[in-house]
Amino acid sequence: MEILNLEGTEDTPKIIFDKSNGIFEISGRSLPEDSAEFYKPVLEWIANYAKEPNASTEFTFKLEYFNTSSSKLILDVLSALENIKGMKIEWYYHEEDEDMEEAGKEFSELVEIPFNYTTH
C-alpha cells in the first residue's frame, strides 16, 4: 500500500501513514482554512487501509494544537478507525497542556477505541 506522507506546515499537521512499517501518525498543528479538503486524502487512505489492515494498528496523535473545524475531522478520522480490528490510539500531549489531555479524553468518549495517554 502506498505511503501517505504530508509535510507539516504552520497550519496543517504532519502526517505519515506507512502500512508496511506500521507507522500511523498525525502530529503538529491543525488549523487549515478548509479542514474538509485537507483531511479528504487522509480519510481516503484510511478507508483503503480498512479493507486490508495489519493485525494490529497503533495510531498516534501528537497534536500541539487544533481548531474547532479540525476537531470534527479528527472525529471523522477516529470514526473511520473505529471499525478496524486491533486498533489502538496513542494520544500524546504536552505535560502542561491540560486542554489537549481533555480533548483526547473527550474523543475517547465519542468512539469505541482504546486510548492510551502519554505526555511528552
Partner 1 sequence: MKFIYDLHQTMVSHNVILIYEGDFTHETTKSILTMAERNLESSGEESGIKKKIFNVMVEALQNIVKHSDEAKEGESVHHAAIFLIGHEQSQYSIMSGNPIRKENIPGLQKALERINSLDKDGLKELYKEIIKNSTLSEKGGAGLGFVDMARKSGEKLEWSFVEMDEELSFFCLKVNIARSKE
Binding footprint of partner 1 on the chain (CB under 8 A): 10-11, 31, 33, 35-36, 65, 67-69, 71-73, 75, 94, 96-99, 106, 109-110
Return the number of the residue (7 or 85) whose C-beta is nearest partner 1.
Answer: 7
Give the nearest distance from C-beta 74 to partner 1 in angstroms: 9
**Cα–Cα distance between 46 and 44 in angstroms, integer?**
5
DSSP letter (8 states) at residue 32: -
**Cα–Cα distance between 12 and 22 in angstroms, integer?**
22
Give the nearest distance from C-beta 109 to partner 1 in angstroms: 7
Which amino acid is present at 103? A
Q: Are 8 and 28 in contact (CB under 8 A)?
A: yes
Return the number of the residue (63 or 87) whose C-beta is nearest partner 1.
Answer: 63
Q: Are 37 and 57 in contact (CB under 8 A)?
A: no
Give the nearest distance from C-beta 59 to partner 1 in angstroms: 19
